[in-house]
Amino acid sequence: MQKTIDIREASPGADALIAAHFYRLWQDNAIPGECIYPNWLDLTLKFIDRARRELSFKAFVAEVDGQIVGSASCQLFEGLYPQILTPQARQYGYIWGVYVEPPYRRQGIAQQLTKEAIAHLKSLGCTRAILHASPSGKSVYEHLGFSTSNEMRLDLV
C-alpha cells in the first residue's frame, strides 16, 4: 500500500528535529563522531535562529503517517566575500540539510523537499539556488536542473 507523503513548511518547533537530520546527514557521509562538535545541537539551533531572523530561513518537512521522515532548509546565501553586487544582479539562495530517513529514500521525497526550498528562494527574488550535494544526492539535484558549477577544490590535508 502506497503511503501519503505530506510536504509542508516546518514550524520553529521542528528545529531540533531538523538539527538532528543535519547531524545524521554528516554521519551518513562518513564523518566520524569525533569530528562533530559535541554541542552540535546547540550550534545548529543558534544558526537556524539567526538565519530565520536575518536570512529569510525556512525549512520544510516530509511527513508520513504523522511522523516526520525528511527535511530540507534554505535561506539567503550570505556569501564568501564582500557583497558589492545589487540583488538584481545576484541574489543567491542556499539549500542545505536535505535529509530523508533511510527507509523512505528513493521515493522522491528529497526531490519534493528541494522543490519547496526552490519555490521559497524564488519568492525571495533569488537569481540562483546553490547547494552542495553529497555523492548520493547528486542525481536528485541534477534531475531538478542543477548543474555542476565552477567551484574548484584543493585538499590541504
User: Residue 75's Cα: distance from chain center in Å?
Assistant: 9
Task: Dump pLDDT digits (tens) for 111-156.
Answer: 999 999 999 999 999 999 999 998 888 889 999 999 887 777 777 8
Say how far apart CA 27 and CA 24 lie, in whole Å: 5
Residue environment code for 26-65, b if the CB has 16+ CB neighbours within 10 A, otherwise e: beeeeeeeeeeeeeeeeebbebbeebeeebbbbbbbbebe
Task: Dump pLDDT digits (tens) for 83-109.
Answer: 898 888 889 999 999 999 999 999 999
Residue 21: phi, psi to the nearest 5? Answer: -65, -40
Is a pLDDT exceeding 70 seen at residue 54? yes
